[in-house]
Amino acid sequence: MKKKSLFPATGGFLHGGDYNPEQWLDRPDILKEDIKMMKKAGINSATLGVFSWSVYEPSEGEYNFGWLTDVMDNLYENGIYTVLATPSGARPAWLDEKYPEAMRVDNYGHRNHHGFRHNHCMSSPVYREKVSNIIHKLVENAGSHPGLVMWHISNEFGGECYCPLCVKRFQDYLADKFDNDISKLNYAWWNTFWSHNYNSFSQIEPPFANGEISSLGLDLEWKRFTTWNMTDYMKSEINILKKLTPAIPVTTNFMQMYGGLDYHVMAKELDVVSWDSYPALHNQWETFTESMESNSFDHAILRSMKKDKPFMLMESAPGLVNWQQYNKVKRPGVHKLFSLQAVACGSDTVQYFQWRKGRGSFEQYHGAVVDHLGTDDTRIFKETEDLGNALKKISKAAGTIIEAKAALLYDWDNRWAIEDIKGLSNETKNYNNICYNVYRQFLRLGIEMDVIASDSGFMDYDIVVAPMLYMLRPGVADEMKAFVEKGGQLLATYLTGYVDINQLCYLGGFPGDGLKDLFGVISEEIDTLYPCDTNNALFKDGSLASIKDYAETLRVSDAEVIASYTDDFYSGTPVVTKKKYGKGCAYYIGARICDEKMSSIFLEMAENAGITRKELPYGVEYHKRTSDGESYEFYLNNSEEVQKVKDVKGINLLNGEQVNGILELGKYETAVIENV
C-alpha cells in the first residue's frame, strides 16, 4: 500500500486542537503567549472557528473576519497550521429570533427555544441559506490562506427534528424508497397487525413520543432517514467547500459509537474520518487495561471506514473532561500512552479540546493544555510537551496504515433493530459490548482486526466474525458463502439472520436467507437466561465454558458438533458447531459463551487461516503500521506493572535503542519499533 501522509506540510503528525482566540481578543498578551507556548509544546496545528458564528456575524449581514485572518497569519508565521471549521454547530441568537423555523421540534411536537448547540433543523431551507452565506464569506476571507490544511464541517453532528418540514421530507423519503406504492410499505412493516395499514404516505408520522411507538419498521426507517437527512445537510456544506476550495480536504468529528447516526453512511462523503475520544478512564467498573482496550475498539471502528488512509483523532482531553458523572484527571503518563494508542491504531493526528481553558460558561472546567494558571510549568503542559517530542521522533510513521486480515461485522441498523426487539431481555442484549468483547479477544491475541459494515465487502480478509447479525442486508448471506467457499474462516453467533432489512422474520428457520445451508444448523428456540441461571458448554476435549444471557436450541444437519449443553431440558444438545464449506469453515456459536473459550475458538480460526498470533503479556497492546515497505510496531503497556515482550527486533524510535529479543516496558510505557 502506498504511503499517504494526511499532512505532508508538517513532515509528520498533526499535533494541536481546538483554539478559541475570539474569547481572548481583549487580551493580546495572552494571544502572544499562546504562540510561544504552542511552539514549546510541539503544537503544529490549531482548530479554529468551531463556535464562532456570532463573532463572525454579530448581526445579520454584518461580518467580521479580520481577527480570524490575523490569528491564522500569526500561527502560520510560527509553523502552526489551521484546521478551519464551518460555524454551523451553534447558531447566533439573531438567527433564531428572526427565523424560528431553523430551530428543531422535539419528539412531542414542541419547538425548541434558542440555546445550547446543535439545535438546528436539517431540513430548513432558511437555515441552509444562512449557513451557505457564512461559509461563502469564510472562504472569501480565509479559504486561500497558506496555513489552511483541512476543513472541519460543523461539529459533532447529532439529534433529530420532528418539525413539519422534516415530517414532509420523511414522507417523501419513504415514498421514494417504496416506489410510491403504499401497499409495499404496509407489507414491509407488517401493518395489518393492530390495523396499522396506511392509505397514503401523507398519513405517516415519525415515532412521536405521544404517537406511534409500536411499529418496528417505522422506528428503523426513522433512524435511517435521520442519518440520510443529516448526511444530506452535511453534503450541502461540503459541496460549497469542494466547489470553492477543491484542494482542501474535508472531515467532521464523529462521536465514538454514537447511536443516533449511521457513521458508515456519513463517512462516504468525507475525505478523512475523524472522531472525538473521551473514555471514562480510571473508573470503578473496569480495569484501566479494559478501558484502553475499549478505546482501541473505538479507534478500529472509525479507522475501518476508510482503510486505505490514516484517520484523525480530532478531540481528546489532555487532562479531564467536565461532563462525565465523575470527572477524573488522567494519571501521570496516561496522556502519552493514550495519545500514542491513537497513533498506533492508525491516526495521523493527536488533537485536543482544548488549548486554553475559558474563564466562563459551560466548559470552563473542561481540561486543556493551558490551565487557568496560564503557565507552561504544569504537569499537563509538560506531558503535552513530552508527547510533542515523541511525535517528532516517530514522524516517519505518519502516512502508514493498519493492514488487518481479520474483520468484525458491525452495522448501525442491526444495532437499532436489536435494541427494538420486543423479546429477549432489555437488560442483556448488549450488542455493542459483545462486539467489543470479540475485538478485545483478538487484540489480546495480537491479531489486528477491522470493524466493518456487513455489506462493505470482506473477501480480502481471512477471518470474519459476525456477532449477533440479527438483520441480514441484501447480498450479505451470498458473500458469506463465497467467503467461506474460497477458504475463509467465518464465525456467527446466536441471533443470526432472524430478519431482513425491514425487520420481517425469515420463514423456514433461522438463520435465514440460505445461511442454514452454510452453517448446517437451524435455531429452533432461543432461551433468555436470568442472571441466576447456570449452564455450560461441554467441549469434545472435556473442557467447560460457562454460558449466560442467551442459549439457542439447535437442530444440526451436516455440521460437526464441537460442544453441547450440560444443563436444562436441552442438556446434551448442540451449542457449538463447525462445518467445512468449500475450502473454509463456518462456525456457529449458539449461546453467549465466556470470553476465554471464545478466544480459544478464535485462535483455532487464526491457525486455520495461517495467521500468526503475537505472544503478549496481559495489558500489553500491539499494533503494526505499514506502507511502501516500511513497518512500525507499537507496543503499549496498559498496565501498572513492568512487562516483557518476547521476539521483538528493531530500533525503538522513542529512545533510539536497538531491541533484539526482549522488550521491557515500564508502567504506561510505549515503544515504537522500526523494523529495519
- Lookup result for grid cell 471464545: 598
> Sign of dihedral through CA atoms 123, 124, 130, 132?
positive
Residues composing the chain: 676
Number of helices followed by number of strands (H, E) in the chain: 17, 26
Contact 105, 169 (CB under 8 A): no
Closest CA to 369 of 14, 13, 16: 16
Q: Which three cell numbers stand for residue 409?
A: 461485522
Mark whether 156 is an active-site residue. yes
- Strand pairing category for 630-637 and 670-674: antiparallel
Contact 513, 469 (CB under 8 A): no
Number of CB atoms found within 10 A of residue 379's CB: 13
The H or E element containing residue 36 is helix 28-40
Q: Which three cell numbers stand for residue 515?
A: 445461511
What are the C-alpha distances in Å from 532 to residues 204, 380, 396, 547, 549?
Answer: 43, 46, 54, 11, 10
Q: What are phi and psi of 501, to 5 degrees?
A: -70, -10
Q: Which residues face 643 on adjacent strands?
A: 665
Contact 635, 617 (CB under 8 A): no
Contact 559, 529 (CB under 8 A): no
Out of 156, 221, 237, 448, the active site residue is 156
Number of CB atoms found within 10 A of residue 658's CB: 10
Integer Cα distance of 261 and 412 in angstroms:
8
Out of 221, 237, 315, 479, the active site residue is 315
Phi-psi region of 669 (alpha: psi -120 to 50; beta: other; left: phi over 0): beta
Integer Cα distance of 473 and 455 in angstroms:
7
Q: What are phi and psi of 401, to 5 degrees?
A: -135, 170
HSE-up of residue 569 (Cα within 13 Å, Cβ side): 5
What are the C-alpha distances in Å from 641 to residues 146, 665, 669?
Answer: 47, 9, 10
Contact 158, 255 (CB under 8 A): yes
Tell me which amino acid residue 176 is: D
DSSP state of 373: T
Closest CA to 451 of 346, 559, 545: 346
Tell me which amino acid residue 508 is: G
Mark whether 60 is an active-site residue. no
Residues 648, 649, 654, CA angle at the centre, nearest 5°? 90
Residue 205, Cβ density class (10 Å: 0-12 exposed, 13-18 middle, ≥19 buried): middle
Q: Which residues are catalytic?
A: 156, 315
